[in-house]
Amino acid sequence: MEKYEKIRIVGRGAYGIVYLCRRLADDHLVIIKQIPIEEMTREERQAALNEVKVLSMLNHPNIIAYYDSFLEDKALMICMEYAQGGTIFEYLQNRGDVLLEEEEILRLFVQIILSLQHVHSHNILHRDLKTQNIMLCKKKVVVKIGDFGIAKVLSSKSKANTVVGTPCYISPELCEGKPYNQKSDIWALGCVLYELATLQRAFEASNLPALVLKIMRGTFAPISPRYSEDLKQLILSMLHLDPNQRPTLTQVMSQPIVVHALINLQTDIGRVRCNSRTLPFPSRFVFSRSAPSVGSLRGGASFAEGAAAEKSTGGRLVVFSWGGRILTPQTLPIPADASVTEVACGRMQKLGLTEDGRVIAWHSASMSSLDGSSILGAGSARREAAVVSSYVEGLSGVTIKQVACGDLFTACLTDRGILMTFGNGVNGALGHGDYNDVAQPKIVEALLHTSVNRVSCGACHMAAIAVDNDVSSLCTWGRGDNGRLGLGNLTTHPVPQTVSFKHKLKKMYCGTDCTVVISENGRLFACGSNRCNKLGLDKKSESATSGLVEDVLNFTLVTVPPLDVQKVKAVAMGTSHTAILTEKGECLTMGSNSFGQLGYRRDAALKGPQPLAAFSAKTIDLVQCGDTFVVAITSDGEVYTWGKGKRGRLGRALEEDCFEPTPVPFDARYAVESLCCSHGHTLMAACNKSMVPRKK
């Protein structure tokens, strides 16, 4: 204890004394639980050690943090985070008869859900969830659950049998001595929610037999009619006598009132109040009947292009676009309060991701359609159309860390690992279990039990890397023909499917009709259409045709030289060609060369990936493929394009096909930070070199 100064006793638990202490190294207040172990039974000692084990496994903002543990004076000392706001039990007791607003109930409840989800993801049962074990921060805003002394770590999916927990919160199956699993924690969670809504426990009695009888009957007083029917039904579902009929945590989190509370939580927790002005937004734009449904947009003020766009960001950030009959790079308007760090585009979408996690869409002022031609002035290659930028509706209150586009659909990944999709659902690529269009971003419920850290969109399918219990897995869904999902079949799946992939994942990319994965050791695996050998999966054969591979249904290691020895950093795929960026900064291309998209005039004998001679003295930082063209960014900031030149694909005044990398007229003041190509157009976010560079 020489590192700590005892301040006072703050409680006495079942196994010891709880002290408030000051950590001498930094004056930080901590809680130290002193548990005498000399006279404890083996079971009691195991319970104390179990709390240390459980706390050390958990790391979540809504769980009491574990700092240290040590032995002193024949006692186990556990050093933990100090929650200054006391317990929720004390908070409710101090309110007297004044009920909480439903919004506040849900704000507290969703934090408990998030913490419990983290606990269950580690195969741990809390087994003593109650308002006395749920703490609050000083401002009564942040929830912290604790007291894992009798938590159960499950080594398998087997159920626990020991009767433990506070009697008022134990489930019917515990009362009967039956095995139980996570559904017992769901019962306790329902008791806590009931208590938040009524300020009273759901089940109370003067003695234990009477309490057990009440629990077994499952009868409790109704909640106040001031609360919504949705809240009432949520409580009833969690307090169902049959554990099999109780919802899982994922099902609880997918309830509409819970989803809204989860989204609102992103803005409430840690929000800094300020008096900055709010930008006025006019009434919502409405899509015309001819426009494809790719998501609802909130109308934003129109911003001037060119110099005005640069001025609005202090000369630091500019977004360039070309294609769709715009022949040379043109600047897109950026709202004055936005700094675009990442761009994404699909067949008819042009999107930008800002530093503060908002998503911007660019479209023509008329909103007649959202394709590249209307956005950038179809009908005249040199006439600039009126362009406006607006924030994508349905994402307020969440922080987006990645955005990706497919054909008429979009995926947005939040900083908490929640995947949201919207747009055209005809191919099942939205992952919602059906083939319906979705107008506003909707959570992919099947992935709520995991944390998604990367997403990629193909033309009609999607892939994601999901993390569950610190183990990464690959999930794919959507249209399944050509074997693009890597599931060993051609079946279309409207919900995410886990792919059997034995190697550690690093990155994955979806192409038009294929998918590739880069493992942690830099090896490339591919599945789907191998048209024109764009995946490098053709086999060596004396016959010109017998070695051709059309479709590959499972992820297959690409062993064609030089990929058998070189480590892959990134991959980009067009309709029938592929560009590969190695860790050495070398650009390799393979596949069809009908428009020069390989960057050289190919000898008929050359079918595998070849390095581009034009870049022999340069290092490539970024590479992207459109339908029949390629864009590459060198380490010295130069922009090169090659392939089909029609409709301004190559960003040059002449609409001619180009068989070798050629520089694009690009302002040398800017360094490209994000690049995306789709079909016949390109988006590029760049930062002024004279400004302080941002962390990538």
Predicted pLDDT of residue 41 = 62
The answer on 101 and 54 residing in a single domain is no
**Strand, coil or helix: what is 523?**
coil
Predicted pLDDT of residue 377 = 31
**At residue 650, what are phi and psi to the nearest 5 degrees?**
-95, 0
Integer CA distances (angstroms), 138 to 99, 106, 509, in order: 21, 19, 45
Mean pLDDT value of segment 412-431 = 92
Q: Is residue 285 part of a domain?
A: no
pLDDT surpassing 60 at residue 683: yes
- Mean of the per-residue pLDDT values for the chain? 82
Q: Is residue 604 part of a domain?
A: no
Task: Look at 243 and 555; give whichever has higher pLDDT.
Answer: 555
The lowest-confidence range among 152-156, 169-173, 187-191, 460-464 is 152-156
- CA dist., res. 146 & res. 284, Å (int): 45
Place 571 in a pLDDT band, splitting at 50, 70 and 90: very high
Contact indicator for 615, 638 with CB cutoff of 8 Å: no
pLDDT surpassing 50 at residue 575: yes
pLDDT surpassing 50 at residue 621: yes
Q: Is residue 660 part of a domain?
A: no
Predicted pLDDT of residue 353 = 94
Predicted pLDDT of residue 268 = 58
47: domain range? Answer: 4-81
Q: Is residue 613 part of a domain?
A: no
- CA dist., res. 489 & res. 413, Å (int): 28
The lowest-confidence range among 21-25, 239-243, 446-450, 621-625 is 446-450
Q: Is residue 231 part of a domain?
A: yes
Mean pLDDT value of segment 93-106 = 91
Q: Is residue 648 part of a domain?
A: no
**At residue 232, what are phi and psi to the nearest 5 degrees?**
-60, -45
Give the per-residue SS3 of 298-309: CCCCCCCCCHHH
Contact indicator for 338, 391 with CB cutoff of 8 Å: no
Domain boundary, last residue among 17, 46, 81: 81
The answer on 189 and 60 residing in a single domain is no
pLDDT surpassing 50 at residue 655: yes
The answer on 176 and 247 residing in a single domain is yes
Predicted pLDDT of residue 147 = 75
The answer on 106 and 139 residing in a single domain is yes
**What is the residue whose two structure tokens read 């809240």?**
231
Mean pLDDT value of segment 417-444 = 92
Task: Kindly state the percentage of the chain with pLDDT values over 70.
Answer: 81
CATH code of 53's domain: 3.30.200.20
Predicted pLDDT of residue 15 = 64
pLDDT surpassing 50 at residue 314: no
Contact indicator for 435, 494 with CB cutoff of 8 Å: yes
pLDDT surpassing 70 at residue 166: no
**At residue 625, what are phi and psi to the nearest 5 degrees?**
-115, 135
CA atoms within 13 A on the CB side of 82: 19
- CA dist., res. 47 & res. 592, Å (int): 65
Predicted pLDDT of residue 16 = 75
**At residue 376, what are phi and psi to the nearest 5 degrees?**
-110, 20
Predicted pLDDT of residue 218 = 87
pLDDT in tens, 477-523: 999 999 999 999 999 999 999 999 889 999 999 999 999 999 999 99
The answer on 115 and 213 residing in a single domain is yes
**Strand, coil or helix: what is 48?**
helix
Local structure of residue 615 (DSSP, 8 states): G
The answer on 237 and 98 residing in a single domain is yes
Task: Kindly state the percentage of the chain with pLDDT values over 90.
Answer: 48
Mean pLDDT value of segment 358-383 = 52
Mean pLDDT value of segment 339-367 = 88
- CA dist., res. 360 & res. 511, Å (int): 24
The lowest-confidence range among 253-262, 345-354, 597-606 is 597-606
Q: Is residue 686 part of a domain?
A: no
Q: Of 203, 199, 207, 206, whose CA–CA distance to 216 is shortest?
A: 203
Predicted pLDDT of residue 280 = 33
pLDDT surpassing 80 at residue 566: yes
The answer on 9 and 105 residing in a single domain is no
CATH code of 255's domain: 1.10.510.10
Mean pLDDT value of segment 658-681 = 90
pLDDT in tens, 18-67: 899 999 988 899 989 887 766 566 566 666 676 677 777 888 889 888 88
Contact indicator for 318, 331 with CB cutoff of 8 Å: yes
Mean pLDDT value of segment 582-588 = 95
The answer on 92 and 77 residing in a single domain is no
Place 644 in a pLDDT band, splitting at 50, 70 and 90: very high
Q: Is residue 256 part of a domain?
A: yes
Non-local (6+) Cβ contacts of 345 within 8 A are 351, 372, 405, 676, 677, 678, 681, 682, 683
Domain boundary, last residue among 81, 100, 130: 81
Task: Look at 195 and 386; give whichever has higher pLDDT.
Answer: 195
Say how many Å lie between the first and final Cα of the chain, rounded. Answer: 43
Predicted pLDDT of residue 371 = 36
Predicted pLDDT of residue 165 = 45
Rg of the chain taking only CA atoms, in angstroms? 29
List active site positions.
128
- CA dist., res. 420 & res. 430, Å (int): 9
Predicted pLDDT of residue 152 = 46
Tell me, yes or no, if the pTM score tops 0.75. Answer: no
DSSP string, 536-547: S-PPP-SSTTTT
Place 406 in a pLDDT band, splitting at 50, 70 and 90: very high
Predicted pLDDT of residue 657 = 94
Domain boundary, last residue among 237, 268, 299: 268
Predicted pLDDT of residue 449 = 80
The answer on 235 and 253 residing in a single domain is yes
Predicted pLDDT of residue 309 = 43
Predicted pLDDT of residue 516 = 97
Place 224 in a pLDDT band, splitting at 50, 70 and 90: very high
The answer on 252 and 160 residing in a single domain is yes
Contact indicator for 138, 85 with CB cutoff of 8 Å: yes
The number of distinct structural domains making up the chain is 2
Predicted pLDDT of residue 542 = 60
The answer on 167 and 124 residing in a single domain is yes
565, 571, 576, 577 alpha-carbon torsion, rounded to 10°: -60
Predicted pLDDT of residue 146 = 81
Predicted pLDDT of residue 171 = 85
The answer on 234 and 199 residing in a single domain is yes
